[in-house]
Amino acid sequence: MFLFVTPVLSRSMLIMGLFLSRFYAIIVYMSKILITGGAGFIGSNLVDVLISAGYQVVIIDNLVTGKKEYLNPQAKFYQADICSSEIAAIFTAERFDYVYHLAAQIEVAKSVADPVYDNAVNILGALNILANCQKNKVKKIIFSSTGGAIYGEAEEIPTPETAPAYPVSPYGIHKLTFEKYLNYYYQIFGQDYAILRFANVYGPRQYRGGEAGVISIFIANAILNKTSFLYGDGQQTRDYVYVADVVKALVLVKDIEARGEINISTAREINLWQIIASIEKTLGQPIIIEQKTAKLGEQRRSCLSYERARTVLNWLPEVDLALGIKNTLAWAKDNKNNL
């Protein structure tokens, strides 16, 4: 004769069982995230952080400025243009929870020379991504916008998000235009979004032939023993924010209710001579500088307030210029052949 005993579960055991089942469900399913431009400077750094956190990551990049060697092997990669009809099929197949839209035509000078092309990528290509987000019920799209190029020659320094936006380049105009489309899609279709307006981002993986800024150009030239050109008197200022701080803000904004524009910056003006001095101090030797006539229409000052980021995201810049240049210089030395 066999005696079967049915265990009696206490209320606490039932609660613990429900908790564990939910906990393991979270482990089994992590959000699937698309990063357009995920083979680029900022995008590839973001991919690495999200994958380390356990997310499923998919990359769309046409590799025009992105680099294959920046692709994280744990991410699924589609070599595709954001303007193409392929995008719809990718969205349908993958069913993304979140989308980071970082892919763009990023050169201000190129936008001036060819505003039609800049419009095609930075508005029409971006709209292609946005329309597919709405159609496929993406929870949130996060857009990497620009600070200095949108505000133009601002009267208030550091410049808050409430300052008038008067872009002086097609690049800035098109970034601002897409910001308005994001708000439109939210108001009409309920598509959630967030906008981060970056100051001048720098750091590892920013190379001369791609998403290059003055710090990466001067560092690369210094390592290769080439001349760097300084246009104008060198007193023009920018707000330089380190890429790891930018990535931290991108990760935070995904899970926080934060529509509208948020500056990601240091609120500190740095001129070109200060950049040169910092590179020379870190390198331990002078770099070759040749002064040239100032570029026509170049913005004189750009520096952004990050007070909204502090309030909404609980975000602060952590890496100062000296450490950021030290880290960037170390990366550039290790990647000398790819600069």
DSSP state of 296: T
Structure tokens at 122: 């930075």
Q: Which residues, in sequence order, are CB contacts of 264 under 8 Å at separation 6+?
A: 147, 196, 197, 198, 199, 241, 245, 246, 249, 304, 306, 309, 315
Q: Which amino acid is at 217?
A: I
Alpha-carbon distance of 289 to 158, in angstroms, equals: 29
Strand runs labelled E in 182-299? 193-198, 200-202, 228-231, 237-238, 240-242, 261-264, 270-271, 289-292
- Candidates 171, 193, 202, 306; catalytic one: 171
The C-alpha atoms of residue 234 and residue 135 are separated, in whole angstroms, by: 48
231 is catalytic: no
**Contact yes or no for 91/136 (Cβ under 8 A):** yes
Degrees to nearest 5, angle at CA 56 with 51 and 59: 85
Helix, strand, or coil here: 3? coil
Nearest to 237 by CA among 323, 337, 159: 159
- Catalytic machinery residues: 171
